[in-house]
Structure formats: C-alpha cells, structure tokens
Chains A and B, each alone.
Chain A
Amino acid sequence: MSNARIEGYARALFEVARAEGTLDEVEDELFRFARSYESNDVLREALSNDQLPAERRQAIVEDLLGGKATPTTTQLISMVAGSGRGHDLPAIVDSLVERASSAKQLEVAQVRTAVALTDDQQHRLKAALENATGKSLNLKAIVDPSVVGGVVATVGDTVIDDTVRTRIDQLKSRL
C-alpha cells in the first residue's frame, strides 16, 4: 500500500477515535494489537489472507477483541481487516500513533523489553528518556521476547539499545 493510502487510513482512524472521545485509549489498544499482529504469524496470516471472505476476517477480529477492547478499537480494526488492508495494519497504526502524538505535541518513544514493564518503570523510563532527549514523549511499551533481556528505546531516529540480544549478536559477530 502506498504511503498516501496508509496515511489516509490513519487519518480516518484518528478522526473517528477523536470524534468518539476515546483517542488515548483507542490509540493504546491499536498499538498493542498491532504489535501482537506483528509477532503472531497465525493472526497475521488470517487477517492478511485475501482468500478469506471479508466477513470471516472481521469475525476473527471481533472474536479476538470482543469484550477486551473498546468497541471503537474493535470496529476500526475490523474495518481495516475487512477492507483487505490487514497486512498494512501495523503501518496504519504507527501512523495513527504518530498523528495522535503530534496532536498532543508529543513524540513517540517505542520501548521494547523481554518482560512487561510495571507502571512505575514506564513512568521512570519515560522521564529518563525525556530527560535524555529533551522531548516530551508518548511512551509505547512493547513486550518483545526476542530482545531476551534489557531495553531498546527508539525515539524518532535515535535508538538506545541495551538489550541482551544485541550483545549476543555483537559477541557472535566478533566470534
């Protein structure tokens, strides 16, 4: 999908969420669903499979999120999957998050860890990153077992990587 189309979908989702008055919650739910979508091969295959009828893909979304996410989030994801843009969902959501952050004068900070961060850790990490970058941040924590341990934070073009995975890779390349 072209960037313009991704931006178009992101803008539409953003406007709907803002109109509903649940932008922060929807943005967070969409972000987490997008990360799950990236890491789950079965889910990705199901929602991006054009051979499946649109109704079937939408039913999968509603089965997954029904009662666990806001109706707006469920409907938005169902709409994207039903329109055959499932494979662009992460990009659309990322664009939406960027747009929502910009609207709040914030910059997105993606933080990946092997285990979930506590709220306190997220607050302190956000403060530390804001202190380090001099920017107001919209922290998005992602649980990613592939990092093995440690933290990798991405703020715009800046990447602060202190993961065990990176150290193992460096060790392997030295070997």
Chain B
Amino acid sequence: MNAVLAILVAAEGEPHRDDNGQVVTHHWLFPEQAELIYGTLASLIIFALLWKFAGPTVVKAFNGRTERVQTELDSAQRALDEATSDAERIRNAKGDIDAERGRLFSEADAQAEALLSDGRARLDAEAAELESRAAAELVASAARVGDELRLEIGRIVQASTDQVVTASLDAAADQALIEAFIQRVGASS
C-alpha cells in the first residue's frame, strides 16, 4: 500500500501552486492526466478481475435466479391451472348443488303439498265424521230422552192405573162385568 502510494506520488510530480504558494489543480473539473490514466487502468483491472472471478458466480446466480423464477412461474402456472380446474369443479359442483337444492326444494314442496292435501282431506273427513256422529248422537239423545219420557209417563200411568181402576170398581161394577161375561159367553156358541 505504501508502494502504491509512492508510485502515485512519483507519477504526480510536483503539484501546481498559485501565486500565493497554494497547491491548485490544473482544472476545476477534470483530474490530473496521470490520475486519469492510473484510475482508468485500475478500473480496468478491477473490472477484469471482477469479470474473471465474480462473473461466473454472478452468471450462475442469475441463471439460478432465472431458473428459480421459471420454476416459480411454472409452479404459479400449475397453481393457476389447478385453481382454474378447482374453480371449474366448484362451479360444476355449485351447479350440481343448485340442481340438487332445486330438486330437494321441489321434493319438499311436493311433500309439503301432499301432506297439506292429505291433512286437509283427513281434517275434512274427520270433521264430516264428527258432524255425522254429533248428528247421530243428537238424534239418539233425542230418541233416548223421548223413550225415557215415554217410560216415565208409562211408569206413572201404570202406577196410577191400578189404583184408579180399583177405586172406580164397586160391587155393582163387578156384578155388571160378571153378567156381561155370562151373556157374552152364552151368546158365543
């Protein structure tokens, strides 16, 4: 490092000085000529070294990256294909589900309608049966009440008949009945 510094100092020569003895460059923008040469050479050497030693690694890295990117692209493509396929399958499944749902809904509607219809018919039949049974019971009840009333009247009349008839029969009536019997039997030959 000291050697290089010494070379640079030797190449530079004596620096320019202004009137006041201050060191100045020959141009405010461009470097000194020697510096330009050495700098260019050094840059070339550096580039050459870089090209020789770092270039394959960089190329390899770029190739690897390219390959990795390609792999990732392929993977992404496959994922895209799979996603597309899945989406298609899901759409198909969704279509099936919709159809199944529609079928289930229609079946449920049909069953509900059938149940409703059966229920209405059964209710109508039960209502008619109840109505007829109630009418029959009403008639039977009326007949039963009538029978009971007739029976009660009959009982009362029966209970009173003996007393009334017995009380109304006196000796004269008895004799009249006997005489009437004798005459009727005698006349029936």
Contacts and interface: CB of A to CB of B under 8 A. Distances in A.
A148 B175 CA distance: 12
Interface majority SS (helix, strand, loop, mixed), chain B: helix
Interface in A18-74: none
Nearest to A150: B177
B169 interface: yes
Given A168-B161, A175-B157, A150 B185 contact: no
B171 to A, nearest CB: 7
Contact of A164 (B165, B182, B189): B165
Given A172-B158, A175-B157, A121 B182 contact: yes
B162 interface: yes
A129 B188 CA distance: 9
A114 B174 contact: yes
Contacts of A124: 182, 186
Contacts of A171: 161
Among B153, B184, B185, B188: residue with most chain A CB under 10 A: B185
Contact of A148 (B154, B157, B169): B169
B161 A149 contact: no
B173 interface: yes
A128 to B, nearest CB: 3
Contacts of B158: 172, 175
B143 to A, nearest CB: 18
A140 to B, nearest CB: 16
Given A172-B161, A175-B153, A132 B188 contact: yes
Interface in B129-187: 150, 153-154, 157-158, 161-162, 165-166, 169, 171, 173-175, 177-186
Interface residues of B, number: 26
A32 B173 CA distance: 25
A160 B179 CA distance: 14
Nearest to B179: A121
A132 B177 contact: no
A162 B182 contact: no
A125 B177 contact: no
25 contacts: A114-B174, A115-B174, A121-B178, A124-B186, A128-B183, A128-B186, A129-B185, A131-B186, A131-B189, A149-B169, A149-B174, A150-B178, A151-B178, A151-B181, A153-B185, A160-B181, A160-B185, A162-B180, A162-B181, A168-B161, A168-B162, A172-B154, A175-B153, A175-B157, A175-B158
Interface of A: 113-115, 117, 121, 124-125, 127-129, 131-132, 134, 148-151, 153, 160, 162, 164, 168, 171-172, 175
Given A132-B189, A162-B184, A175-B150, 14 more contacts: A113-B178, A114-B174, A124-B186, A125-B181, A125-B182, A125-B185, A132-B188, A149-B169, A153-B185, A160-B181, A160-B185, A164-B169, A172-B161, A175-B158
